[in-house]
Amino acid sequence: MTEQIEQKKTSRKRRRFEERRQGRVWALSMLYALEYVSDLGELFGSFHHLIPRCIEEPEPFEFARTVVLTIHGGLEALDGRVQESSKRWRIKRMDLIDRNILRLAAFELFEHPETPPKVVINEAVELAKKFGAEPSRSFVNGILQQLCQDNQIDLGVS
C-alpha cells in the first residue's frame, strides 16, 4: 500500500515537472513572438489556435500565460537585473532566443523560489540547447550563474 502511494506521488511530481517544462517552451515561444507583436490578447489567442494541446493541457498554457504576463509587466526591471549580471552584453544586443531564455529563467529565480535554482538553470540550458545557437548554452549558463551570485541565490553547490 505504501509503495502505491509513493508511486502516485512520484507520478504527480513527474507530471508536474513535464507540465512545467512544456509551459517553459510555450512561454519562450510567446516571449519570442512578443518581440514582433505587442498585443497580448492576439498573442494568447493565436497560441490557442496554433497549439491544440493548449486546450487539451491547460496547466502548461496557464503557466506560460502567467509567466508572459508577469515578465511583460515588469520587463524593464527584469532586464535591468539580467543586464547587471551580463557585464559585457547589453540586453538588446543579445540573440532573441538567448535574451528570452534569460528573462524566463530570471523570472523563475526571483518569482518562484520553490523551484531550485539548479533546476531553473538546467532547464534554461536545455532550452538553449534545443532552440539556441551552438554557444547559447554556455552563454545562458554563465549569465545565470553570475545572476545567482550577484543576487546571493544559493545554488546548493559546495
Domains along the chain with CATH numbers? 1-73 (no CATH), 75-158 (1.10.940.10)
Q: Could you tell me how far CA 23 lies from the centroid of its own chain?
A: 8
Name the residue type at position 154.
D
Give the pLDDT means over successive 10-residue stretches in the chain (158 positions).
64 81 91 83 72 74 89 93 90 94 96 92 97 94 96 79
Specify burial of residue 124 (Cβ count, 10 A radius: 0-12, 13-18, 19+): buried
Burial of 148 (0-12, 13-18, 19+ CB in 10 A): buried
pLDDT of residue 88: 84
pLDDT of residue 13: 78
Helix (H, G, I), strand (E, B) or coil at 115: coil
Of 45, 114, 35, nearest to 75 by C-alpha is: 35
